[in-house]
Structures are given as C-alpha cells and as structure tokens.
Structure 1
Amino acid sequence: MSKLSNNSQAMLFGLGAVLLWSTVATAFSLSLRHFSPTQLLLVANMVSLLFLVSLIVYKGEIKPLMTVAKQTWKSSLFFGAINPFLYYLILLQAYNTLPAQEAQAINYTWAIMLSFMAVPILKQRLKPADYLAAGACYFGVLYISTRGQIGSLEFSNASGVAFALFSTIIWALYWLLNTKDKRPSLIGITLNFAFALPLILIFAGVTGELTQWDNNGLWGAIYIGLFEMGLSFVLWNKAMKLTTNASQVANLIFLSPLLSIIWLSQFAGEPILNSTLIGLACILVGLFVQNVAKKTKQST
C-alpha cells in the first residue's frame, strides 16, 4: 500500500475521531440534565471498559493484558486515578455549571497548559511563540468567562470556569506523565479504566449517588463511553500510526470545537453566544501559533 494511500486512510481515521469528539459536548450537555457528573462518569467508564476489553480479546491480547496488569498495578491505579477518574469528574462538573459551549472552548487550552507544565516536569524551555500563544488563548478564556465584559471582570460563573481550567491542568499532567509510561497504549488505557472503576464506585457510594437514577440519561452516558472514551481513541491511534505527516492529521483537531458549537445549537438548544465565538477564535489562533512554532522547530 502506497504512502499516499496510507495518508489518505490516516486522514479518514483522524477525521472520524474528530467528528466523534465534536459531538461530546452535546452528549455531555444532554446527559447531565438527567445524571450527576459522578453517575455519568460511572456509566461511561463501564461502557468504555467493556469496549476496550472486547477490543483486547479481539486482538488476542488478553494474556499480555493480565501480565501487564500484575506487573504495573500500582502505576495503572495511579494513571487511572488521574484519567479517567479525576479528569472527567472535574471536566463534567465544569459542563454541569457552565454552558457546554463555554466549557468545551476553555478545555481546549490544555495544550497551552501542557507547554508551561513541561518546563518543570520535562525540563523543556519556552519559546516566545509559547508566550504569544498563551496570551491569545487566555485572553479568549477571559472573554468567554466574562461574556465579553472584560473591563468589569465579572465572571458569568467563576466556579465553572475554575473547574474548566483545572481540568486542563489535570489533562496536561496526565499526558506529561504518560511520556514515561512504558505500557502498550491500548493495554495501558484499558487498565486505566479498569483501575478507575472501583474508585468511581467508592466515590459514588460515599456521595450517595448510587441510589437514585434517571434512566433518561442512560443512552447519552453509553454514547460517551463508547465513542468519546472508546472508539475515538482507537481511530486516532490508527490515524497516527498510518500517517507519514503527524502534523497534518493533528491539524484536524481544529475542526472539533467549531463543529461542536453547531451541534450544541442544533441538538442541545444552546444559543451561540458572540462572546464564545470571539473567545474561541482567540483560543484557536493561540493554538495555531503554537502549532506553527512546533513545526518550525522540528524542521530546523
């Protein structure tokens, strides 16, 4: 199979993952009308774990899974506690307190947070482009969180913005630590979900969220577990393995927040706010600047 053929397939797999990710904010918004963040995470985690284990069985890797689980149970518990347990619990709380369009836009600044956290963790150095990108992104966050009233500095929902920003710290931390993770990617993410499940169950039990359920939220939680936490991971991994130009595939991610706002307005009934569009534009400009700087560095 030619390189062109492989790249074409990679773009299709990447586009499939991005399209699935673009629907997640809508699924979060609709599901959280019926489930608490903890309940949504519990069901989605179980569905995702079932999907991932089925994939492991299909690939004939159940024995390696068990072997790695015995050898790395401490690190699997550690990574599972960060993601999916802590990350999604905080992210879903942001979606539960903010309009979904605002929560998802702020969440996209995790790449900027990753650059700054890489300084103490990976001993990397920041470039002028990183500061420029951060300025654009966090100006966008400020614009979104104040609904365009930057001069007043009155946040529409300060706690929701704090949850959304904190989720970017957790996600960036997870990926920075993940660079030192020696487990195979599919087995590693499967073990993360497996070891996170008892943590979520214990938390749900302590907070009294195992007793009352609204079945109307079930299908949304299943969708999130299957597509956001499961299939999209497989599609994206496949795309990155097939491509000879990772940056080209990675650029597809810029489509996701724009499509997400369309789905939110059409299916979740959220009116598109001008402040979200302007703030999101600033965030995307910042991410674009960072992306261009990375390409330039890699080519020199």
Structure 2
Amino acid sequence: MTRQGKAYLYGLVAVLAWSTVATAFKISLKHLTPSQLVLYASTASFLVLLTVLTLQHRLPELSVAFRRHWKRSLLLGAVNPFVYYLVLFRAYDLLPAQEAQAINYTWALTMTLMAIPLLKQTPRRADVVAALVCYLGVLVIATRGEILALHFSNREGLVYALVSTVLWAGYWIFNARDDREPVIGLALNFGFALPMAFVWCLLGDGLGQPSLTGLLGAAYVGVFEMGLTFVAWLMAMKLTESTARIANLIFLSPLLSLVLIHAVVGETIYPSTFIGLALILGGLALQKWLTRVPAAAGAA
C-alpha cells in the first residue's frame, strides 16, 4: 500500500469511528449522567493513551513532559476533556442526537471566527458568508424548520451545544501554540482532568453503581471518541501528501452518523435536520472554496 493509501485508511478508520459516537453518547446517557460519563470515558481514554505510549516505548517521555509542561497540561486538560465533554454530554442529554451532532459540526467555523479577535486575524468575506449559511442551518435544526416562529425545540440544549463549539474551537486555537508531542500532550490533559472529573462527579451526581451497559458505553466513548481515534487521525495527517484530501473525509461523518442514530437509537430523522445539516456542511465547503479562489487568482 502506498503512503497516501495508508493515510486514507487511517483517515477512514477515524471518520467511521467518529460517526458512531453520537449514537454511543445517547445510549450511554440512558445509564449514566453527563458527569459520570465524563469520568468513566476519560478513564478509559487515559488508559488507552498510556497503552499506546507503552507499545511505542515512549512512556518515559510522559514524566519528562509532565515536569516541563504541567501548567499547560493543567489548563488544557481543564478545557478538554473536563469542561468540554461536560457541556457536550449535557447537550446530548437534552437534545436529540441528530440535532446535537449537527450543531457540533459548526466548531470549525466557530474557530475561524474566534481567531479574528484572539489571533488578530482580518475577517474575510468567505468567513462572513460561511457564518451566515452555517448558522442559518443551526437555526433550521434548532427550530425544526419553524424559523419565523423562532420556536426552539430545547433552548437550554441549544445553548449547551453552541457553547461546546466555542470550547472546542478555543481549545484548538490555543493548542496550535502547544509544543508538546500530540499523543503525550493528550495523555497529560487526561491525566490532569481525571481528578477534576472525579471530584465533580463525587460532589454532584455521585459515582453511583453504573450498569455494565453504561460502563461499556463509556469505555467505547473513551476509546473511539477521545483516545485511539485521535491517534489514527494524527497518523493520517502525518502520512498524507495533501492535508485537504484527508480533511475532506470528515464530511462523510455526519451523514453516516444520522444513519446510525436512526437505526440504533431509533430517532426519526426530521426533514429540518437534513436541510440544516446541508446548510452547515455547505457553508463550510463554501468557506473553503471562497478562500481558495482568491489564492488561485493571485497565483495566476
């Protein structure tokens, strides 16, 4: 297999795994509270990352990185996984999976918009147009097509879903300046987040007596949303000849996710979800296209 072929394989594995997590969230949240799911899933992810580092004979690097970067790891770990997944799981707890996962895909646009004030970037026409199209899609999904009436299916859930995109986008903006090796950095983040998740859960919902289904669901989320899939995606980006080729694979994920949400969770997919998701994905694609056109014209 060629180097690019391996990149596609790793990328498809990651995308297929991410396509299943919205379904896994809803199933797990039937047996666990959001804070319990954060705790148990983060534990599973941390163990997976430690296993990966052990197999790569890189575990000693973790202690070195801990001493050098503990402050950064504490801050980033507080954002992701701790606060981000608390907010995200709460959104999934309140909203149908189809709505929460569709809104969550606006994080890439949120990151672009946040970079304007945080990184002093100049706003581009492409960003403004994409924002209008994407957030029109969010409005369609959140109101289930009743845009003029502004009748939201669940206002609290919508707020949690949108806040999760801000947290995730902010995490990646600050992560861009992170000089830690990615897998090492992620392992440290989870290591610092675990005590926070434990105390939060203990003082709030309590540890409870989770069912086997709940624990298996949390383990699945920890492995395929937070841990191993991230490593596969990193491998794809490392092997590819073109980042855009791999990045475009992510557009497959929401469509596959809707199929699973309907087949496994049993949700009836609303026509407004298809329309809203089409607007969100179309807005993201339009942003890429409008950004490339001036670059191509300049090159000519």
**TM-score, structure 1 length as denominator?**
0.96
Q: Which residue of 2 aligns with 1:275?
A: 272
SS in 1 for 2:123: coil
**Matches of 1:211 and 1:221, distance apart in 2:** 14
The one-letter amino acid paired with 1:139 is: L
**% identical equivalent positions:** 50
Match for residue 188 of structure 2 among 188, 191, 198: 191
**Matches of 2:174 and 2:292, distance apart in 1:** 23
Q: Which residue of 2 aligns with 1:205?
A: 202
Q: Which residue of 2 aligns with 1:115?
A: 112
For the aligned residues, what is the CA RMSD? 1.2
**Matches of 2:294 and 2:94, distance apart in 1:** 39
**Matches of 2:126 and 2:73, distance apart in 1:** 35
Would the aligned equivalents of 2:15 and 2:249 in 1 still touch at CA under 8 Å? yes
1:59-105: CA deviation from partner (whole Å, max 9, x where unpaired): 11112110110111111010000000011110000000000000000
Match for residue 135 of structure 1 among 123, 132, 139: 132
What is the aligned residue count? 297
**Matches of 1:244 and 1:294, distance apart in 2:** 20
The one-letter amino acid paired with 1:114 is: M
Q: Which residue of 1 aligns with 2:48?
A: 51
The one-letter amino acid paired with 1:243 is: T
Task: State how 1:1-300 maps to structure 2 within 5 Å.
Answer: 5-296=2-293, 300=299
Structure 1, unaligned runs of 5 or more? none
Would the aligned equivalents of 2:201 and 2:207 in 1 still touch at CA under 8 Å? yes
How big is the shift at 1:214?
A: 3.3
**Matches of 2:169 and 2:230, distance apart in 1:** 17
- Structure 1 segments, 4+ long, off by >3 Å, are 293-300
How big is the shift at 1:295?
A: 3.9
The one-letter amino acid paired with 2:64 is: T
1:193-248: CA deviation from partner (whole Å, max 9, x where unpaired): 11000000010011032134333311111111111111110110000000011001
